[in-house]
A and B are shown apart, each in its own frame.
Chain A
């Protein structure tokens, strides 16, 4: 158990609506990551954070924004959801700076209709 929860676990929303996904960790780690997983693409990094209010873009950041106002919470927002953002979203943490290992939450399945 990596001490990571994601909410909601499932969501269906309509095109054009804003959506916020939450990642919560209980272990006070500095680094947190948001990925999306799609068939044929594996896991792709959307945004990551290296501290409170410190974030950076990943390889597929267009259409997404993030915020980290507290160490334990990392929020991913889709400002105006599109059908191409239908995916499974995973949050991950990095426990130590001595390693590149990441530990994942259970995921959020988002469907944009």
Chain B
């Protein structure tokens, strides 16, 4: 059972376009992370959101945590070819500091064409 559903699974756009990737769940998460992964490499952490309704910006990337802490979105403005990659969301369900298991979504493969 996939606790985190990402959509879309694949996205191909032209350079300069805007896009939004969604990460949804029926479960509440104490925090949620977004990672970006390039071929042949491990995922790299982009951001962590903790508070319901929180919005964080990283240059052209805007991350939002839902008010109920069950969903999140990643919005990219004016996409560039360098944004191409696999975007993964991951949620931590426990507020406990021990263990800290993350549940990952399946990922969104983004291709930005020149």
Tell me whether A44 and B106 are in contact in the complex, defined as CB-CB below 8 angstroms, given that A100-B30, A101-B48, A107-B40 are known contacts.
no
A42-B88, A43-B43, A107-B41 known; A102 and B48 CB under 8 Å?
A: no
Q: A45-B102, A102-B102 are in contact. Are A97 and B97 (CB under 8 A)?
A: yes
Find chain B residues with CB under 8 A from A92 CB.
42
B-side residues, CB < 8 A to A, are 2, 4, 30-31, 33, 35, 40-45, 48, 88, 90, 92, 97-102, 104-107
* Contact call B43/A90, Cβ cutoff below 8 A: yes
Residue of A nearest to B30 (CB): A100
In the complex, chain A residues whose CB is within 8 Å of the CB of B107: 42
**Known contacts A48-B101, A97-B97, A104 near B44 by CB under 8 Å:** yes
Q: Which of B35, B92, B98 contacts A50 (CB 8 A)?
A: B98
User: Which residues of the partner chain B approach A43 to less than 8 Å between Cβ atoms?
Assistant: 43, 88, 90, 104
CB distance A98 to B97 under 8 Å?
yes
Interface set of A (CB-CB < 8 Å, partner B): 2, 4, 31, 35, 40-45, 48, 50, 56, 58, 90, 92, 94, 97-107
Question: Whole-angstrom distance between the alpha carbons of A56 and B101 in the complex?
Answer: 11
Docked complex Cα distance between A40 and B9 (Å): 9
Distance (whole angstroms) from the CB of B99 to the closest CB of chain A: 7
B40 contact set on A, CB distance < 8 A: 106-107
Q: For the A-B complex with A45-B101, A45-B102, A106-B42 known, give 9 more contacts whose Cβ atoms are closer than 8 Å.
A: A42-B106, A43-B88, A90-B43, A92-B42, A97-B97, A100-B30, A100-B31, A101-B33, A105-B42
